[in-house]
Amino acid sequence: MNELAAYGYNRDGKKGKRQIVVGLLCDDKGCPLSIEVFFGNTSDPTTFASQIKKVTERFGGGEVTFVGDRGMIKSVQIENITANGFHYITAITKPQIEKLLKRKAFQFGIFDHDLSEVVDSDGIRYILRRNPIRVKEIAASRENKLRSFSTMINKQNEYLLSHLRASVKVALRKISARSEALGISGWVNLVASDRVITFCIDENSLSEVAKLDGCYALKTDLSKTVASKETVHSRYKDLALVEWAFRTSKTVELELRPIYVRLENRTRAHVFLVMLAYIIIRELSIRWRNLDRRVSEGINDLATLCTIEVLAKGKRVCNKIPTPRGSIQQLLDEAAVRLPEALPCLGINVATKKILQKRQENI
């Protein structure tokens, strides 16, 4: 389950901005099971109840485990999940980790192990780990923020020196607001002297902030007999498959947004067709994984396949499909697609996306 926003026509048919939220429900392999449209700026926790009801009523329930990130599955959603006899895997926030450390539910040093597990007094399992790659990324991000912050201070100092009537307090206020926006105010101290503003790093505060860099904790009510800590960890990482589905649907091959339809049922139909198209994209990515070609590149190559019009007594009889060249035939073979020798002429007018848009504008 995830969400995205799109824009198109309002419910009353007037052209303008209209935000929708799309909920996508996938299986454990990332294959879409259903898609649902929510109108308005609907939050993830609100749309989640609909997915629980859907699994209960339409997909038969049973031993189902919902996997969602920390913004999706919260305390209310956990209550709904367990009340319906389901299970969950999610992550907890940094403040929640700090709270558990304070009440000594687990020790800080346990994050430095490869993959650790702690069972709380109420039977809830926590899977803990520190990601070393993420530690380096966060450190690099702090360095970039400091460079940006230092550049701003230098510009403010130049302005104060060249404009003697400029207020140092105003400059400090601007710099303080910038440090807040960058999230570095907790370990950066500002000093103003002789119309020159400098900053210094509070190493103790920085060390306290950085101690949980790269640390994350997964939370689940699944028992060890049902899923090991490695399984829980792997299932949570599989959320990347859902993220890939949304990225592909929104901006890559399928371009879900913007939506140029007027009626609500057509908006839902458009989103549904995008989900079906994504299933094809996903299947092609699996079948073409051994080829040195992206799905979009393969589809572009297939678009070059043309037909030859066959005429009999001046009338079109059929469209003959010539033998594809080697690279295209390889794509077809890997996708297990066999083309017919010819296609009947049914009088169907095929147009490109641009031509269709021009026609719609003229209606």
Q: Where are the domains of the chain?
A: 1-61+238-287, 147-210, 290-362
Rounded Cα distance between 257 and 255, Å, is 5
Residue type, 220: T
Close Cβ partners of 360 (under 8 Å, ≥ 6 residues apart): 260
pLDDT for the residue numbered 74: 85
pTM score, two decimals? 0.68
Instruction: For residue 319, report the phi and psi dihedrals to the nearest 5 degrees.
Output: -115, 115
Rounded Cα distance between 295 and 299, Å, is 6
DSSP-assigned letters across all residues of 37-105: EEESS--HHHHHHHHHHHHHHTS--SS-EEE--TTTS-HHHHHHHHHTT-EEEEE--HHHHHHHHHTTS
pLDDT for the residue numbered 34: 82
pLDDT for the residue numbered 6: 40
Is residue 321 within 8 Å of 341, Cβ to Cβ?
yes
Each residue's pLDDT tens digit in the chain (363 positions)?
Answer: 333 334 444 444 444 555 677 777 777 777 888 888 877 666 666 677 777 777 777 776 567 888 888 888 888 888 888 888 888 999 999 889 988 888 888 888 888 878 889 888 788 999 999 999 999 999 999 999 999 999 999 999 999 999 989 999 999 999 999 999 999 999 999 999 889 999 999 999 999 888 889 999 999 999 988 889 999 999 898 888 777 777 777 766 677 766 666 777 888 888 888 888 888 888 898 899 888 888 888 988 888 888 888 888 888 888 898 888 888 999 999 999 898 888 887 766 666 666 667 766 666
pLDDT for the residue numbered 306: 86
Compute CA distances 316 → 307, 337, 350, 363, whole Å.
Answer: 13, 26, 16, 30
Residue with tokens 């299986």: 27
Close Cβ partners of 145 (under 8 Å, ≥ 6 residues apart): 182, 183, 184
Rounded Cα distance between 184 and 153, Å, is 14
Close Cβ partners of 84 (under 8 Å, ≥ 6 residues apart): 52, 56, 61
pLDDT for the residue numbered 10: 45
Angle at 30 between CA 28 and CA 36, to 5 degrees: 105
pLDDT for the residue numbered 81: 85
